[in-house]
Structure 1
Amino acid sequence: MGAFDMLGIAGSGLATHQTWLDAVSFNIANVNTVRSTDEDAFQAQFVMAEAVPDGGVEVSGIALGDPEGRMVHNPEHPLADEDGYVRMPDVDMASQMSQLVMAQRGFQAQAAVIRNAQDVYSSALSIGRNA
């Protein structure tokens, strides 16, 4: 492991957590998206990550939730079918909020690693200048 590998590894974690935060935010923003019954429901996004052989992590893909969603009886809605149903996403808000907290904490931890590494490298450079 080289002297600056820590920054690359933490940077890859930071980027992955940012993608995770973006996906969870998108899911939360669309939790009440209503569609007609002849359309697919909003599909939640789930970030898939994998380890990189030389250290770090990368986003390997985005999995999508169930396009069937759930049928909700809401006859007053303008998109309701003749039976009064609309299609809602099958997004569990409690799960999304838990995911949001985990992604935030991971992002904060990666940012702290980068800050600490920068401080260490800066201290090492200042020691070299004073010698």
Structure 2
Amino acid sequence: MSLFNVMEISSTGMKAESVRLNTTASNIANANTVGSSYNETYRARQPVFATELQRAIDGQSMGAGVQVKGIVESDAPLQVEYAPHNPLADENGYIYKPNVNVVEEMANMMSASKAYETNVQVADTTKRIFRRVLQLGQGQ
């Protein structure tokens, strides 16, 4: 594995964690929204990651890394609340709240932030190694 591969892996990791941070922020922003029907209510979303290592081994790509396969909605049940005076209540007096757990989302955001930060540090260290190798080539 060359240092160029390390930079590629680090950059794909940063892109993936950026998607995870944005998805988590969207979940938190919609945590207190209310829907008037079960099908129209916001559902928590999570990104799905996959490794590109096998493709690199098979010769289909130049390096390894992380690939964002997509974003899936949670299948956890929504919160149903009886609130007949709410203007968004359905004909039976129920409102529907998202299946977002804010505590889990905050933990997910902290984890994504740390993973992003780690990838930045890997890229920075690799850059310093490149610089040092160039200095060695100049006889310093």
Match of 2:97 in 1: 88
Unpaired runs of at least 5, structure 2: 57-63
TM-score normalised by L of structure 2: 0.84
Match of 2:61 in 1: none
What one-letter code is carried by the residue in structure 1 that aligns with 2:126?
A: A
Counterpart of 2:107 (choices 98, 105, 108) is 98
Match of 1:19 in 2: 19
State the 1:38 CA deviation: 5.8
Q: Give the 3-state SS of the residue equivalent to 1:50 in structure 2.
A: strand
State the 1:50 CA deviation: 0.8
TM-score normalised by L of structure 1: 0.89
**Quick one: higher RCO (CA 8 Å, sep 6+), 1 or 2?**
2
1:40–1:68 CA contact under 8 A, matched in 2: no
Match of 2:42 in 1: 42
Pairing of 1:53-72 with structure 2 (within 5 A):
53=53, 54=56, 55-66=64-75, 69-72=78-81
1:40–1:69 CA contact under 8 A, matched in 2: no
Match of 1:77 in 2: 86
Q: Does 1:124 align with 2:125?
A: no
Q: Give the 3-state SS of the residue equivalent to 2:125 in structure 1.
A: helix
Query: Whole-Å Cα distance in 2 between the matches of residues 117 and 3 of structure 1?
Result: 7
What one-letter code is carried by the residue in structure 1 that aligns with 2:131?
A: S
2:3–2:126 CA contact under 8 A, matched in 1: no
* Number of equivalences: 131
2:16–2:66 CA contact under 8 A, matched in 1: yes
Give the aligned CA root-mean-square deviation in angstroms.
Answer: 1.8
Unpaired runs of at least 5, structure 1: none
2:83–2:89 CA contact under 8 A, matched in 1: yes
1:44–1:91 CA contact under 8 A, matched in 2: yes
Q: Spell out structure 1 runs of 4+ moving beyond 4 A.
A: none
Query: Whole-Å Cα distance in 1 between the matches of residues 113 and 43 of structure 2?
Result: 22
What one-letter code is carried by the residue in structure 1 that aligns with 2:46?
A: F
